[in-house]
A and B are shown apart, each in its own frame.
Chain A
């Protein structure tokens, strides 16, 4: 490898780059892995609709999204956990929360030989993640699944290793249904998990469950659908066993749709409705209320309008639920608050 040809090649690459760097508005965003499949699709489609703007989204987890957004290293963030008052206080200009879609978190499992759909009680889920239920044929599980032959193998528990909004929603739910979980572990993007191994991102958890027999994990619905993983139904507060789907997730947001707080920060886990899926959540984009660069501001506002109208159409096919109409109307008004 001669030195001169190395430098020639390098110059060639430089020439290519300079040609490619056009005058586009480039926006960087980062955050939740929960909505990554639909955000990926949205940003791809938005660039086709408006070729001057390009939004590069990095799926690093809700914790990462909040952090990078706070540091200002990205133009906007994304999170399944609304920012806490303390996190908001770090901003000079109050950041705005924009819900984008509704999603459901499902218990996914990989049990060789079991093809039927499993039913999970809240006590079973809490027990498994607390480490008190360690075998698949534990009475708590066999009780709810009478027709299924559950093996005597140990449960391989998988949770998130990174700061995750999905974790927040999941632990929020567990805290509501299990007083022991609430006192021992609590709910946050990053908790001290009693057992199990950690995967990075929804992608990591799904990946590990897919390859590890006798494992269980919690991921957003789209990940089980796209990767053909098995997932179970959960017993909700009204006593019905429900799988996460368009109807049950939308139903979970019914009460919140009517009484949405002004800053859109709300939790919709374990809702009382009969058809409400128990682990459902909004996911938010975190947008600064003051954007200095006029080109970026125009692009971001355009994207938000696009998202609330055209973007919502993609939700169903990707396993998310579109926003309730009342929420969309309120968000359109909030866009005007961006200076």
Chain B
């Protein structure tokens, strides 16, 4: 083999192994992140963490019960407000949309998808918080605004994947259009739609920036949904940036719980999807 060819071959092996290294690095990042969180946080995820309220700064102990419930409250609000709207919008885009209006909505949905979540937080602050003060509702609205375009586009995506023949079959059997959609198309696409919804909810449950100016935080249980509400992401943020070692410990625990929830939802969603639809693209 000539020298040049030997060089080319060596280069080929070298570059290709380099790409392998890149892939391994990328994958191991996930396990590294999980590992660091588990290492630093597992000891603190105990009964106290789930049941006690936070203590004043400097006093060790306490937990994040209010933050866990608060997060669930806000996510629930966002889900109730955002999923139906997103779902309906997706149905419109895939089933009823005319040319221009649907294009416009699709474009706006993609636009909203790309807006940084902190800008959404500012928007909700100017429209809601200034009049109605910090509340879980405001936090829920901000998260819902993020959830709607995600859900709309993913619903549309999976609805359009349903073959036209299914629709035509239903119509041929005498169903009206909306009946065909409700009883045939949506059930056919439900796995993908559900996946999209779960992924969307998982995404918003980790968001912190929109909550900074809407639901703020709370040391206690608070007065319900119209009052400032604690949430896990906010707790992670405030506790990690403080100097108290005990707060750091709790920040790791909160981060671990949060990450666990988000990853679990993501894995479940992807497993549902992969086991599901055999749809021609």
Interface residues of A (CB under 8 A from B): 1, 3, 10, 13-14, 16-18, 20-21, 24, 26, 28, 30, 36-37, 40-41, 43-44, 47, 54, 56-59, 71-73, 199-201, 203-204, 206-207, 209-210, 222-223, 226-227, 229, 318
Contacts and interface: CB of A to CB of B under 8 A. Distances in A.
Contact of A73 (B129, B225, B265): B129
Query: For the complex, would chain A's binding face be called helix, strand, loop or mixed by DSSP majority?
Result: helix
Nearest to B247: A203
25 contacts: A1-B268, A1-B269, A1-B272, A10-B76, A10-B79, A14-B76, A17-B73, A21-B224, A26-B222, A37-B58, A41-B56, A41-B59, A56-B222, A58-B216, A58-B217, A72-B133, A73-B129, A73-B130, A199-B241, A203-B244, A204-B242, A207-B242, A207-B243, A223-B243, A227-B243
Contact of A207 (B221, B228, B241): B241
Contacts of A222: 58
A24 B223 contact: yes
Interface of B: 55-59, 69, 72-73, 76, 79, 129-130, 133-134, 194, 198, 216-225, 227-228, 238, 241-245, 265, 268-269, 272
For the complex of A and B, 10 pairs with smallest distance between CB atoms? A40-B56, A206-B243, A203-B242, A207-B243, A21-B224, A26-B223, A226-B58, A1-B268, A227-B243, A41-B56
Nearest to B267: A1
B194 A3 contact: yes
A200 B241 contact: yes
Nearest to A219: B243
A222 B56 CA distance: 13
A14 to B, nearest CB: 7
Contacts of A207: 241-243
Given A13-B76, A20-B221, A222-B58, A203 B69 contact: no
Contacts of B221: 20-21
Contacts, number: 97
Given A17-B73, A28-B134, A40-B56, 12 more contacts: A1-B198, A1-B269, A1-B272, A10-B79, A20-B221, A26-B227, A44-B56, A56-B222, A71-B130, A199-B241, A204-B242, A226-B58
B250 to A, nearest CB: 14
B134 A73 contact: yes
A201 B244 contact: no
A59 to B, nearest CB: 8
Given A1-B265, A56-B218, A203-B243, A17 B224 contact: yes
By CB atoms of chain A within 10 A, which of B59, B216, B228, B243 has the most? B243
A56 B219 contact: yes
Contacts of A43: 56, 219
Contacts of B59: 41
B224 to A, nearest CB: 4
Contacts of A44: 55-56
B241 to A, nearest CB: 5
A44 B221 CA distance: 13
A80 B242 CA distance: 19
A58 B69 contact: no
A143 to B, nearest CB: 31
B190 to A, nearest CB: 9
Contacts of A318: 58
A32 to B, nearest CB: 13
Nearest to A11: B76
A229 B243 CA distance: 10
Contacts of B223: 21, 24, 26
Nearest to B213: A73
Contacts of A223: 243
A56 B134 contact: no
B241 A13 contact: no
Contacts of B56: 37, 40-41, 43-44
B45 to A, nearest CB: 19
Nearest to A47: B220
B57 A40 contact: yes
Interface centre among A30, A226, A318 (most CB of B within 10 A): A226
Contacts of B222: 26, 56
